Each structure stands twice: as structure tokens, then as C-alpha cells.
Amino acid sequence: MKRTAAAFWLDSPGRAGLRQVDLPEPGEDDVVVRTLYTGVSRGTETLVFGGRVPENQYAAMRAPFQEGDFPGPVKYGYLNVGVVEEGPARLAGRTVFCLYPHQTRYVVPAAAVTEVPDSVPAARAVLAGTVETAVNALWDAAPLAGDRIAVVGGGMVGCSVAALLARFPGVRVQLVDADPRRAEVAEALGVGFASPQDALGDRDLVVHASATEQGLARSLELLRHEGTVVELSWYGARGVAVPLGEAFHSRRLTLRSSQVGTVSPRAAGRSYADRLALALDLLADPALDALVTGESAFEELPDLMPRLASGEIPALCHRIRYA
């Protein structure tokens, strides 16, 4: 009998729905996974929802198990936690993370899933993809013990970076965001908080994740002489003005990008699988629950996504439950 599942599809920019899909027959090296939770990565997924992926980035922005093409119809997403119902004996019954879209069940190669450690609740494991981005950013940034660091932008990625930096010995971290409600999240993560105008300057390193032109300009202002801004924001189709005049050259500042699609060259010998496994291990810290700011049932997702995209729901990670 044919296996079926329900999947979330973006039919066209701003319009989405649930579709019944047929699952392929699993092969010898495949797993059948029943989804427990998915996460909505508000920054990237709302850009996709609004049809704001630049055409020249269609290939780079493809998710591993995406179906369809930008701007739509497309099945998109990459924060999926489920339980293996069928597959190799070593995985049967195990909770796993996969870079799969929002769908009730799916079939993928066993090599495409990563076991969730027993120390990490399935509901928290949806953060693995974002914490993996933060791990790669810190490999790129290479912070030192005792560094003075600002993270500008208290979204899902920025807060993940701040949470990991809080574990570095002697590092003084300040999360900078225009939304005063992020102060509560910063406290839960064990880092300081400031509004952009009150942020501490003379920083050795600034990680920018606000996806705003103003945030990037402020990040450069916060640096010490010869300091570095690591840019994590993705702006979609928007052009961004970067203030490279004034004191940019005389202060010998550095602006560099970081993107999770490539393992940082500073982490020689590490693979994508190594990076994801590390992210899952780091999620044993219950403080990271602060990054999940809402939860809805899967059936509500078509009505929820426009509210997330408009900012009506100011989420970090919005978790979707399937039972």
C-alpha cells in the first residue's frame, strides 16, 4: 500500500498550503522518519515565503531536500526532528535530526540523518541547524580568551552565537538589539544586553546578524582599532550600503563574511557531519530553550507563516509540533 504524508508547500510568494504527497518505497539504506517537530527559521524562511530570494542565488539557496523551485511552488525548510520508524537496526526507534522541510513523514538515505544525543530533548533539537550556523561563524571568527565581543542582532542566529560565546573563558559578550524584549533572552543565555545607542565600544570582535544596514554600520562603529566584523546577515535581494569611508581605512578594520554552506577553512579536517554532531552536543544546555519563543500545530502552519513574515509574531525560532 502506498505511503502518504502531509507537506507544507509555498504555492506562490505569500500563499501556502498543505498537500498530500506520496512517499517513495524505502531502499535498503534508507530510513522512514515520522516527524516530531520542525522549526521555522524566521529570517531565511520568511524571505523565501515572500519570494525575495534573488534569482542569481536560487542554486545556492536550495535546501538539501527541497522540492520545486524558487519563487514557487516550492517545499522548503531544514529544521526537522523525528523518530526512525523503519531503517537500519542501529537507527530504528532513534530520534534524529535532518535538514528536511515541514512534512509529517519522509524517506531519506540513512546517511542524511544525525542521531540526537540522549541528553538533548527532541523539542530542543530543532535548533541544531541554527546552532550549526553559529559554530561555523565562531570557527570563522576565532575568538580569543578575554576578547570583548558584541553580537549585533538578537535574532535566532545572533542569539545562538551569543549563547556559544558565553562559554568561552574570560570573554565578555554583549547582545545588541533594538528590541528591549531581547534583554530577557540575553539574561537566560548568560550574556549582557544593550540597545544599539548604549552598546559598549572598543570591541575586539563584532558578529553582525541583524540583517539591517543600520546594524552593519553600528557594528563597524563598535570596533577597536584593527577589529573585525563577521557578517552573518543574509539580505536577499536588497542592496546594502556599507560605510567604508570615514575612519574605516585609518582604523584598519576588517569586514568578512561567514556562511554555513561551507565549512570554515579554519576548521581544517572537519566535515559537515562533524559540525552538525557538535551542534547537537552543544544543545544539551537547557539555556538554549530561550531561543524557542513559540509553538504551533503543523495544521496551523499555512496561517502562521504570513504572521511570522509580517513580524506580527516576533519569533526567534517558532516550533511546529506534529502530535
- Region 212-222 average pLDDT: 96
Domain count along the chain: 2
Residues 228, 208 share a domain: yes
Element (H or E) spanning 257, and its range? Answer: strand 254-257
pTM for this structure? 0.91
What's the CATH number where 109 sits? 3.90.180.10
Q: Which of 6, 3, 43 is nearest to 154 (CA)?
A: 43
Helix (H, G, I), strand (E, B) or coil at 158: helix
| Least confident segment among 213-227, 232-246, 295-309 | 232-246
- Region 141-156 average pLDDT: 96
Residues 69, 52 share a domain: yes
Residues 142, 105 share a domain: no
Mean pLDDT across the chain: 95
Residue 271 within any structural domain of the chain: no
Side-chain-facing half-sphere of 174: CA atoms under 13 Å: 22
Report which residue type is found at 201: G
pLDDT at 170 (0 to 100): 96
Report which residue type is found at 288: L
Band (pLDDT 50/70/90 cuts) for residue 259 is confident
Residues 107, 135 share a domain: no
Measure the CA–CA gap between 131 and 275, rounded to whole angstroms. Answer: 10
Q: Which residue range is the domain that position 92 belongs to?
A: 4-127+283-321
Q: What are phi and psi of 280, to 5 degrees?
A: -65, -40
Residue 94 within any structural domain of the chain: yes
What's the CATH number where 176 sits? 3.40.50.720
Residues 217, 111 share a domain: no
With 0-12 CB in 10 A as exposed, 13-18 as middle and 19+ as buried, what is 323? exposed
- Region 118-144 average pLDDT: 96
Residues 203, 234 share a domain: yes
Residue 272 within any structural domain of the chain: no
Residue 274 within any structural domain of the chain: no
pLDDT at 268 (0 to 100): 84
| Least confident segment among 105-109, 253-257, 263-267 | 263-267
Residues 164, 210 share a domain: yes
pLDDT at 43 (0 to 100): 78
- Region 262-276 average pLDDT: 91
Band (pLDDT 50/70/90 cuts) for residue 80 is very high
Residue 268 within any structural domain of the chain: no
- Region 231-236 average pLDDT: 87
Q: What percent of the chain has pLDDT over 90?
A: 87
- Region 112-124 average pLDDT: 97
Residues 225, 113 share a domain: no
